Every structure is written in structure tokens, then in C-alpha cells.
């Protein structure tokens, strides 16, 4: 796992992570799926610390998708309480580290009021921090985000010929957030699963075999090294 040092001049500004594989991690150990989610907490905060140390400015994690409501009610209930607990256990530490906590997703009737209150509390507590921004994608769907952006445009009465990429971006959940430079998905699945559909247009994607509860900052550094070895062309022809 130890490789060459990271190039400090080419640290991705924004890293987004699909934290996947908790259920399989638990299953391999004869545990309940929810115990896999619990084990993911250590992975998350070790990785957040690593991202801060590496100088990543924006770090976004996929915690609950708009499709995850399809899971058994017990697991959904667990995940709601777990995500609230994560904020209770870590928001103050993150605040001390100058991290700004933010959320992306729909605040619909399915999200328990107590969870929304905790989210607002964590966001308010850390609102003025100027270190890394940790965005938690919660009840988030990439298609829902685009639908919500279009609704915003229509509600504003924007005429058709004024709808362009800039106008859509203005209505995304976080227009100020730069697009991810690097997206990491764990667990060996090769798909996006409705994460940041608009924003990932030109992100470098690294798929890793490790299950999320086993993920540590060294895996993040490995992914950043892989990112640094790639050439981004954005549709052009690249350097000669
Ligand atoms: C990711 O792990 C966590 C969430 C989706 C909330 P999974 O629960 O999807 O784990 P697998 O993919 O079933 O192993
Ligand atoms: C994506 O993982 C969502 C999160 C990590 C929160 P899923 O496990 O829900 O995705 P699929 O079902 O394998 O595509
Ligand atoms: Mg999964």
C-alpha cells in the first residue's frame, strides 16, 4: 500500500466517494448488514482525516441514495439513526478541525424530523469554517437533483432560450461546489448508482475492490496517486 509520495501540486480539489460494500463485509463475517454500516464509521473518519491531511478542499460522500428507501424497513430505520448518530459523535471534532459540513439531497417527508434537525445543527455549527467542505449526500439522487434544478428554472419563469448549462448549474444543490476531480467507488462494483450525474461529467473514476468498512486513508492516497498518473483531456487532444 505504500507507494510514491503524492504530488502536492496535483491534489484533486474535490474527491467524491461511493462508500459501498458494508452489507457484504458483514455477510462475510456472519454479521447483520447493519453491523457493516456501523463498521463503516471508522473508515469514514479515517478517510476524512486523510483527505484533510492531503489538502483536499472538497470531500463528498454518498451516505443514502433516493433508491435506498427500497431496502428492508429495519435497515432504512437503522441508517436514519446511524447517520444522525454520526453527526452527534463527530460534528464537534470536525468543527474543531475547521471542516464545514454540508448536505446534498432531498429533505422530503421520509427523512425523520430528528435527523433533519441534527443536519441543520451540524451545518449551522460549521457554517463559517474555511477548511475542507464535507458534503454528505443524504437522500440524494443525481436524477432528482437535475429534476429539482429544472423545477427551479421553471418556477423562476426562465424562457427556453435562456436555459443553458450555466442556468442549470445555478439550480443544483450546491452551485458553488466544483465538480469532482476524482470519484472513488469501493466494493468492486462498476457503476455510478445515481451519484452526482451532472457533476461527474469529466471526473476521473477509480474503482477499488476493498469493501467500505476496510477502507482507510491509504486507500484514498492510492486512488489519488492513480488520479495523478492520468491525463485529463476534457474532450481535447491533450499534451503532445
Ligand atoms: C453501502 O453499503 C452503504 C449504503 C448504501 C447505505 P451497502 O449496504 O450497499 O453494502 P453492499 O453493497 O450490500 O455490500
Ligand atoms: C450506492 O450504493 C449508494 C450509497 C453508497 C449510499 P448502492 O449499494 O445503493 O448501489 P447499488 O444498488 O449497488 O447500485
Ligand atoms: Mg451496495
Count how many Cα atoms sit within 13 Å of the Cα of residue 69 in the half-sphere of its side chain. Answer: 12
Residues of the chain where predicted confidence (pLDDT) is lower than 50: 1
Collapsed DSSP state (helix, strand, coil) of residue 133: strand
Comparing CA positions, the residue from 92, 91, 16 lying closest to residue 51 is 16
Catalytic residue at 222? no
Provide CB contacts within 8 A for 154, sequence distance 6+: none
Ligand 1 centre distance from Cα of residue 74 (Å)? 14
What domains are there in the chain, each with its CATH number?
A: 10-228 (3.40.1180.10)
Ligand 1 pocket test: pick from 22, 31, 69, 80 the residue with the most ligand atoms within 8 Å of its Cβ: 22
Predicted pLDDT at 2: 56
Count how many Cα atoms sit within 13 Å of the Cα of residue 60 in the half-sphere of its side chain. Answer: 25
Predicted pLDDT at 189: 98
- The pLDDT tens digits of the residues spanning 143-165 come to 999 999 999 999 999 999 999 99
- Arithmetic mean of pLDDT over the chain: 97
Ligand 1 centre distance from Cα of residue 21 (Å)? 5
Q: Which pTM was predicted?
A: 0.97
Give the DSSP per-residue string, 3-36. -SPP-GGG--SEEEEE---HHHHHHHTT--HHHH
Distance CA 32, CA 215 (A): 19
Catalytic residue at 68? yes
Predicted pLDDT at 173: 98
- Confirm if 148 and 113 have CB atoms less than 8 A apart: no
Cell of 107: 429533505
- The pLDDT tens digits of the residues spanning 54-87 come to 999 999 999 999 999 999 999 999 999 999 999 9
Tell me which of 68, 129, 148, 179 is the catalytic residue: 68
Amino acid at each position: 500500500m505504500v507507494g510514491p509520495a503524492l504530488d502536492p501540486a496535483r491534489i484533486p480539489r474535490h474527491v467524491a466517494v461511493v462508500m459501498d460494500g458494508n452489507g457484504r463485509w458483514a455477510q462475510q463475517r456472519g454479521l447483520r448488514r447493519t453491523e457493516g454500516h456501523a463498521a463503516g464509521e471508522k473508515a469514514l473518519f479515517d478517510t476524512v482525516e486523510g483527505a484533510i491531511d492531503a489538502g483536499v478542499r472538497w470531500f463528498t460522500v454518498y451516505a443514502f441514495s433516493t433508491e435506498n428507501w427500497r431496502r428492508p424497513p429495519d435497515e432504512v430505520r437503522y441508517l436514519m439513526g446511524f447517520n444522525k448518530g454520526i453527526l452527534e459523535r463527530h460534528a464537534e471534532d470536525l468543527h474543531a478541525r475547521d471542516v464545514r459540513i454540508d448536505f446534498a439531497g432531498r429533505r422530503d417527508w421520509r427523512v425523520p424530523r430528528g435527523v433533519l434537525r441534527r443536519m441543520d445543527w451540524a451545518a449551522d455549527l460549521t457554517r463559517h469554517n474555511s477548511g475542507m467542505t464535507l458534503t454528505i449526500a443524504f437522500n440524494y439522487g443525481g436524477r432528482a437533483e437535475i429534476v429539482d434544478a429544472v423545477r427551479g428554472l421553471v418556477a423562476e419563469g426562465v424562457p427556453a432560450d435562456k436555459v443553458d448549462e450555466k442556468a442549470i448549474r445555478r439550480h443544483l444543490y450546491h452551485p458553488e461546489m466544483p465538480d469532482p476531480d476524482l470519484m472513488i467507488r469501493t466494493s468492486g462494483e462498476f457503476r455510478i448508482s445515481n451519484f452526482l450525474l451532472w457533476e461527474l461529467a469529466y471526473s476521473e473514476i477509480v474503482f477499488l475492490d476493498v469493501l467500505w468498512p476496510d477502507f482507510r486513508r491509504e486507500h484514498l492516497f492510492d486512488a489519488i496517486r492513480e488520479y495523478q498518473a492520468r491525463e485529463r483531456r476534457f474532450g481535447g487532444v491533450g499534451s503532445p
